[in-house]
């Protein structure tokens, strides 16, 4: 594993009114790794993802992305950082009035020098990389299954050949077969493209199948980071229950069968 830090969070603070969600939160993410963020409901996993992806400013702390201060930089510098990252939201967050292909083309419109034919060709490539059939490009989001919408959201996240992809609950709402196919896709993309993946999940199967490292969010910060093996040795009550509970045992059995 290469050890270039591509995301560095120091002393991060997020709050809504008087409710503090994160305080003194530190985390490093390394190039090429798949990091899974877990934590109880409401611990601020999605807020953290949105904050790093530049979708909401934190109330304090420091975010460095690709070695650059992402909070105190010019708009042009921030745009350059954003072009190196892609985000896939839980429900795909696609524009309902655009076809899948047009959705994937949206981020490409920010790049100059790409004509309509090139955009179309590139969009079709991303659609196929995301495991969708060619014909899906002409469909509207409402004509797709939940799993296909997620893949379309992934295709859009990959539109600009990002170095980092953020995935919010990538397998939520998928049946077990669809979820495990999506896990395989994440792992394959990470390995073939050298992508850094930052994913938020409740899905223990996803953690087993895709993640190099896990970050546990609790007590308003990243309380632990480590491999799945490391997680199994932690005695913190929530962490122990999460990684040793009945669902965890089922996930281990699945992994032993398939892995």
Using CA atoms, how far residue 109 sits from 16, 141, 162, in Å, is: 34, 20, 15
> What is the rounded distance in angstroms from the CA atom of residue 48 to the CA atom of residue 189?
23
Cβ nearer to ligand ATP, comparing 82 with 168: 168
> What is the rounded distance in angstroms from the CA atom of residue 30 to the CA atom of residue 140?
36
Nearest-5° Cα angle at 23, 43 to 245: 30
In angstroms, give the least distance from the CB of 4 to ligand ATP: 27
Joined together, the tokens standing for residue 176 give: 């077990």
In angstroms, give the least distance from the CB of 43 to ligand ATP: 4
Cβ nearer to ligand ATP, comparing 21 with 85: 21
In angstroms, give the least distance from the CB of 86 to ligand ATP: 19
Helix ranges, the chain (H): 45-52, 75-82, 100-105, 116-129, 146-157, 176-193, 204-210, 228-231, 237-244, 246-258
Cβ nearer to ligand ATP, comparing 99 with 201: 201
In angstroms, give the least distance from the CB of 19 to ligand ATP: 6
Cβ nearer to ligand ATP, comparing 31 with 236: 236
In angstroms, give the least distance from the CB of 22 to ligand ATP: 9
Cβ nearer to ligand ATP, comparing 34 with 51: 51
Using CA atoms, how far residue 20 sits from 25, 49, 57, 220, in Å, is: 12, 16, 14, 8
Under rule CB under 6 A, how many of the chain's residues touch ligand ATP?
Answer: 10
Residues 19-58 that bind ligand ATP (CB under 6 A): 21, 39, 41-47
Identify any residues that bridge with 22 across adjacent strands, giving them in sequence order.
14
In angstroms, give the least distance from the CB of 89 to ligand ATP: 12
Q: CA 46, 52, 53, 55: dihedral to nearest 10 degrees?
A: 70
Cβ nearer to ligand ATP, comparing 43 with 99: 43
Which of 2, 4, 10, 16 is the binder for ligand ATP (CB under 6 A)?
16
| Residues contributing to the site for ligand ATP (CB under 6 A) | 16, 21, 39, 41-47
């Amino acid at each position: 594993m290469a050890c270039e830090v591509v995301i560095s969070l120091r002393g991060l603070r997020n709050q809504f009114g008087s409710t503090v969600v994160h305080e003194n939160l530190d985390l490093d993410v390394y190039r090429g790794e798949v990091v899974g963020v877990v934590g109880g409901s409401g611990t601020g996993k999605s807020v953290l993802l949105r904050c790093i992806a530049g979708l909401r400013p934190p109330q304090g702390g420091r975010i460095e992305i690709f070695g650059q201060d992402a909070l105190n930089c010019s708009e042009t510098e921030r745009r350059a950082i954003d072009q190196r990252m892609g985000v896939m939201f839980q429900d795909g967050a696609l524009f309902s009035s655009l076809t899948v292909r047009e959705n994937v083309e949206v981020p490409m419109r920010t790049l100059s020098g790409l004509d309509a034919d090139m955009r179309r060709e590139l969009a079709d490539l991303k659609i196929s990389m995301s495991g969708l059939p060619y014909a899906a490009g002409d469909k509207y989001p409402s004509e797709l299954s939940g799993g296909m919408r997620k893949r379309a959201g992934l295709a859009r996240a990959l539109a600009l050949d990002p170095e980092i992809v953020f995935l919010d609950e990538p397998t939520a709402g998928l049946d077990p077969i669809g979820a495990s196919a999506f896990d395989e896709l994440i792992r394959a993309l990470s390995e073939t493209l050298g992508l850094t993946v930052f994913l938020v999940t409740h899905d223990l199967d996803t953690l087993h199948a895709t993640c190099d490292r896990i970050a546990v969010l609790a007590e308003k910060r990243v309380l632990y980071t480590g491999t799945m093996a490391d997680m199994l040795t932690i005695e913190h009550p929530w962490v122990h229950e999460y990684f040793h509970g009945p669902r965890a045992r089922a996930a281990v059995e699945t992994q032993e069968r398939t892995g």
